[in-house]
Structure 1
Amino acid sequence: MITEIRKDAEARMRKSLDALRADLGKVRTGRAHTGLLDHVMVDYYGSPTLVTQVANITLVDARTIGVQPYEKSMVGKVERAIRDADLGLNPATNGELIRVPMPMLTEERRRDMIKLVKSEGEDAKIAVRNIRRDANGSLKDLLKKKEISEDDERRVQDDIQKLTDRFVSEIDQMLAAKEVDLMAV
């Protein structure tokens, strides 16, 4: 029972960390990366489809993403979908290849992005702390039912606190790395 609580808490904390990692991957830096277009939807014969399923996405250079639709008739639709995706990107068609240059970020925009990243990091820390609270609550319930001793409860609470500290530390490291990435010109 105690190990289940500990394992559940760790699994949920890991999911919070993975969600933060995914959210930070969506934050645009000055450098190009193909993951930026992962959530762009394009109208593919009447049904909304991810652009990654109708086109090959590559990096042309450090500041340009290349998008090559599998079908020639999709070039205009893919270009329009990227432009309308509210990512601040302005694609340009070059035959069958759509070039998506990454615009330079202004200093003010970089600061705004850092505020956004810190806010998302704080939300992830709150989620981790809530998981700790839930696990400690489960331990207190077991103690009230006399299913575990006070010593076991304290030992597991210490373990859960160490887990919490470890995940909060990982969140801080991810935020610091993203901040450095955003400030790089």
Structure 2
Amino acid sequence: MSDFSLKDLQRRMDGALEALAREFMGLRTGRASTSLLEDINVNAYGGVVPLKQVAGVSVPEPRLLSVQVWDQGVTKSVEKAINESGLGLNPQTEGTVIRVRIPELNEERRAELTKVAGKYAEQARVAIRNVRRDGLEHLKKSEKDGDISQDEMHRESDQVQKLTDEHIKKVDDALASKEEEIMQV
């Protein structure tokens, strides 16, 4: 396997970590975060547009999001989109500013969220293992075709496994950190 292929495997594994980080950002932890509203779409201007195209979101307090709508005509649509987002949030409108209080999480909801975080982490681990499998298959094929020696194949396989172990550890660390954040009262 050439260096490029090992770099390609690393890039793909890093992609799985980035996807996990995005998934974790969407999990509500009882703390305000602008990423909480990132995936909300608003019916405005005759179509569906992302919230960030019609408003700015800020965090003035640890448990409060402030949504500054740029066009007063879409304020009601933004409020409705936040209400119907399934996040359990109750927006309150004051002119073109929508305030969204982040409610405390109860113990049951915290346990649910840690399970969801665990599922996201497992999906990332599976993605990383699939990249490893692709890399090892490529190595075996290269050895079978006579492109590399058996010793080279074993050496490269060890590097692929080492890369996989590093990425799996990063997933486990990210999960532990997210679980701690969720369970924090």
Partner of 2:180: 180
Structure 2: which amino acid aligns with 1:106?
N
> How much has 1:4 moved relative to structure 2?
2.5
Partner of 1:170: 170
Aligned identity (percent) is: 40
**SS of equivalent residue, structure 1 residue 91:** strand
Structure 2: which amino acid aligns with 1:152?
E
> How much has 1:60 moved relative to structure 2?
2.1
1:15 and 2:12 correspond: no
Partner of 2:51: 51
**Paired residues of 1:2 and 1:156 also in contact (CA < 8 A):** no
> How much has 1:180 moved relative to structure 2?
0.7
Q: Which runs of 5+ in 1 are unaligned?
A: none
1:97 and 2:134 correspond: no
Query: Distance between the aligned counterparts of 1:139 and 1:74, measured in 2?
Result: 56
**SS of equivalent residue, structure 2 residue 90:** coil
Instruction: Give the paired residue count.
Output: 185
Query: Distance between the aligned counterparts of 1:7 and 1:96, measured in 2?
Result: 48
Q: What TM-score, normalized by structure 2, do the two folds share?
A: 0.97
Structure 1: which amino acid aligns with 2:107?
E
**SS of equivalent residue, structure 2 residue 66:** strand
Q: What is the 5 A alignment of 1:49-88? A: 49-88=49-88
Query: Distance between the aligned counterparts of 2:9 and 2:3, measured in 1?
Result: 10
Q: Which runs of 5+ in 2 are unaligned?
A: none
**SS of equivalent residue, structure 2 residue 49:** strand
Q: What TM-score, normalized by structure 1, do the two folds share?
A: 0.97
Deviations along 1:63-83, one digit per CA (max 9) or x if unpaired, are 010001101111111101110
